[in-house]
Structure formats: C-alpha cells, structure tokens
A = this chain, B = another copy of it.
Amino acid sequence: MIRKIAEVRETGELFSSRTLDLAAVMPLAQEILTAVKQRGDAALRAYTEQFDHVTLTNLAVMEDELAAARTKVDENTLSCIEAAAEAIRNFHYRQKRKAWLEEFTEGIYLGEMFMPFDVVGAYVPGSYFSSALMCVIPAKIAGVREIVVCTPPMKDGTVDPHTLVAADLAGATTICKVGGAQAIAALAFGTETVPRVQKIVGPGNVYVTAAKMAAREAGVEIDFPAGPSEVLIIGDETANPAFIAADMLAQAEHGAKSQAVLLTTSHELAVEVERELTAAAPAREAGVAQHWLLVGESLDECFAFANEYAPEHLELVVREPMEALKRIKNAGSVFIGNYAPVAAGDYATGANHVLPTAGYPKLFSGLDVDHFMHRMTLQWLDKDGLARIKEVVVQSCRAEGMEQHAQSVEKRFSADAAH
C-alpha cells in the first residue's frame, strides 16, 4: 500500500512500532546476570545445556578446535573472509585518531593522546563471521590487549567454523562458546574461564540487548542498544525500482520486526517498487519485514522524516546526492547511489555494519575504533607560558573563592621558588 509521508508522520505509527521493548525479557536477563555473577562457569554450563542443548567440556575454544575449524572452511569462503578483513582494516586504520601536541600560546603546549581499552568483549551471534570481523578488527586496530569473543555453541559443542576462523584471523585473544544473556553476564563479571572486560560490543537478540543494558547499569560499558535491523531509502525519479525492491526484500531476511521504508517524491517509483515487491511475494513472505512505501511532496519532506526516523541504514538514490547529504542529520550509515546496496556494506566495503537502530543513531555512532579508546588531554607549560596566563588564572581562582589554587600559581613566581 502506498501512503503519504505526511499521514504516517501524523499518526506516528512508524516510530511507535520501533521502541526497544526490553521489559518483558529483563527479569530473565537479570536473573541470568545474577546467577553467572554468583556461580561463574557452573552457571554458564547450566544455561548452555538449557538454551543451547549441549553439554560442554571446555568453555574456551582450544587450539585443536581452531585447527579443526580451519579444515572445514573452503578456500572460496576463506578468501572472502580475508578480503573483507583487509577492507575493514583499511577503513578502520583511516579512522584511528593520532596523538597531537601544539603550541597554542608561546610556552603553552596542548594536545591529546588516544589510549586503547585494556580488555574488551565482543558478542558474535552464531553463524555471522562478518560480525566477528566487524567487532574484533576495530578493537585490534585501537590496540586493545585482550579481545574476548563469546559466541554460542552448536548442538555438537563446536562453534560455527566460519565464525571461529574469522574471529581468530581478526585478532581475538580468547574465544568462548557461550551465547545469549549468559555470555554478556560472563563478560561483565568474569568467570573462571571468561575474562572480565571493560566494554562489551556487538549485535544480539533481545535477551542479549537486555543483558547489555543491565550490564551497563552494573558498571560495564557497552557500544549501544540495538534492536531489529532497518533500512530507509530516499529515492527520486533517478532511482531504479528493481534495485530498491531487492534491497527491501533483503531487509526482510532480518526477520518480521525489521523495517524497510521507501520515501520518494515520485509516485511512479512507489508504484513500480510495489509491483516488484508483489512479484517477489514468495521471497518476501519468507522474511515478512515491515515494508512501507511513502510518497512526499518534496525531498525536503523526505529528509525531515528520515532525520526524525534516524535509520540504521539510509540509502540515498537521488539526482544530487551531495546536496541531499547536507540535509541528513541522523543515520548509522549512508549508502549513496544506485550501486550501493546495504549488502555491500554488510560484507565487503570495509565500513562497519554494527550500527545503532530504533532511532539511536541520534545519540550513538556505529562501531568504530573510537569505541575502544579513551582520550587524555596534555598540558605542557614552561615558566614563560605560565607567566603569560598567570594573571587570568590567579584572578579567576579568587573570583571562584579558590585561594589555594591562586597561590599554587603565585608560588611558582615567588622569590623562594628554586627552579
């Protein structure tokens, strides 16, 4: 059904359907956190039996399991993993910030240094080797010493070989066969096997997300809350309806709660996309995402709606994309042109596919090197430099009633100052 942007904006239905409702699962997530905090590995084993239906001998992946996984990955797939890893490294190296120190006033040098976290954790859902690359490589480039990956075991007690090989190749230092909320709990509090981490990143289902939010309250940082995946496409008459429909169908593979939204100034485009979607009904029903076809009066109306929606993925397929880009304020990643499907970014361009959803792109940035670093400022003054700002500092201290602060500066210029 083709509808008007203004109408859907008015009802707010598209926005209200995306709130991250964790309340229903939070009690179980909290219970799991408490159990793992108290009982460590024993709780992990019990939950793994309960949820993954497997009894594990070792929770951490051993060297021989890694070797066995390598034999199970065919050459083609391995070269895909390696090509993706290289592209991800190239992009994320470019992202890494460099220390700097500059003389702002004679004798006053200011700067910044960027330091990696020491220990981080990444949650990787079962068979997504691409997510292993996306989570681990930025941490490695940041310089994180210990990178712990948790990923659920299969029923035979092994881990998906693609995921295992990718996590190892990306630089994971420990890989544990734990999934779900219990994995987040293990990373947050540490167990006999799983190291306690400073920050947990990576995608996951609603239990994983609930556990991450609860872990954040317990003092462990997280990347950001994430819900079902979504794509919003802004297209004008230059957009190819078959490509748009294909991307909307791909979105459906992320499940019934994922959304695919087309905003267009061209009623004809909307009609053609609808025709393509109808023709592809079998594929569509396999996923059954929420598909929305919305027509607006102007591109301005599309931009305003998109900024309010703040999509995880935004495709811009318009005649003047650079002009359009100036108007976009909130999105996880922006895909530009008829030949930039989300799938390309999911696997191979090198940009990160771990992105906030459900409007959180207004507040959070997708996974990047910065997520694994903190910053120190540097202030280096010589005697002349301090002399230059002495009066401002001393007067300001006294204006705020900080007499000892004032004297700490004056002391450096008093007769008895030896150096």
Binding site for B on A (CB under 8 A): 76-77, 79-81, 83-84, 87, 90-91, 94-95, 100, 102, 104-105, 108, 110, 112-113, 115, 117-118, 127-130, 162, 198-199, 217, 221, 238, 240, 242-243, 246-247, 249-250, 252-253, 283, 286-287, 321, 325, 328-352, 361-366, 368, 370, 374-383, 385-386, 389, 392-393, 395-397, 399-409, 411-412, 416-419
What are 15 A-B pairs at a CB distance below 8 A? A129-B400, A250-B407, A253-B403, A283-B403, A283-B404, A333-B379, A334-B378, A336-B380, A338-B419, A343-B402, A344-B393, A346-B393, A346-B405, A351-B378, A361-B376
- Please tell me which one of the listed residues B83, B345, B370, B409 contacts residue A379 in the complex, with CB atoms under 8 A apart: B345
CB nearest neighbor in B for A131: B400
13 extra A-B contacts, CB within 8 A, seeds A198-B363, A362-B374, A366-B375: A221-B363, A242-B417, A246-B404, A249-B407, A253-B405, A334-B376, A339-B386, A343-B406, A346-B393, A346-B402, A349-B381, A351-B378, A351-B379
Give the docked Cα–Cα distance between A332 and B112 (Å): 10
CB nearest neighbor in B for A217: B217
- Please tell me which one of the listed residues B94, B104, B352 contacts residue A102 in the complex, with CB atoms under 8 A apart: B94
- Find out whether the CB atom of B87 lies under 8 angstroms from the CB atom of A334: no
CB nearest neighbor in B for A385: B339
**Distance in Å from the Cβ of A162 to the closest Cβ of chain B?**
6
Give the docked Cα–Cα distance between A81 and B395 (Å): 10
- Find out whether the CB atom of A362 lies under 8 angstroms from the CB atom of B118: yes
